[in-house]
Amino acid sequence: MKRLILTRHAKSSWDDPMMPDHDRPLNERGKAAAADLGQWLASRDYIPGEVLCSDALRTRKTFSGIAPALPGTPVLELKPVLYHAGPDVMMAVLRHATADVVMMIGHNPGIAEFAQRLVAHPPATPDFQRYPTGATLVVDFDAPDWASVGFGSGVAADFVVPREIVA
């Protein structure tokens, strides 16, 4: 079995409208949400062995906020190609993963479409379609390796948005 933890970056800052999109940091709400996500993942034993992350600042900072709650240190791989990637690019990156449990951190709109295309039956929540900041899908695949994973073959094991964690 393979497990993917698919996370959209936490809430980013728009304080400086002249800042390049790639360099936007997390705002205070985003920092808190990333820490909450880390606690949520650890409490459910959703522990990645490998993290495939866009190289944008907000995705890296999302992982930095999540990581302290995780036991051990997963291998972090910054993937510039994941910056605003579509589902086909995300799948191509995933198919080269090596750990049994992989976390991927990316951006909308690509990550929302990727999540929708991965699962045979989506979670019954409107937030799944929107995939708001911090949204995290845990999806399981009955596959011997990541190269064997295809669209529509995943089973949604869990889904959360940060505001549900603290509610």
pLDDT at residue 83 in the model: 97
pTM (whole model) above 0.85: yes
Q: How far is CA 43 from CA 37, 68, 109, 156, in A?
A: 10, 13, 28, 18
Does position 167 have pLDDT exceeding 70, yes or no? no
What angle do the packed helices 57-66 and 28-43 form, to 10 degrees? 50
Selected from 3.40.30.10, 3.20.20.100, 3.50.40.10, 3.40.50.1240, the CATH number assigned to the domain covering 2-121+137-166 reads 3.40.50.1240
Tens digit of each residue's pLDDT (9 = 90 or more) over 114-127:
999 999 999 999 99
pLDDT at residue 15 in the model: 85
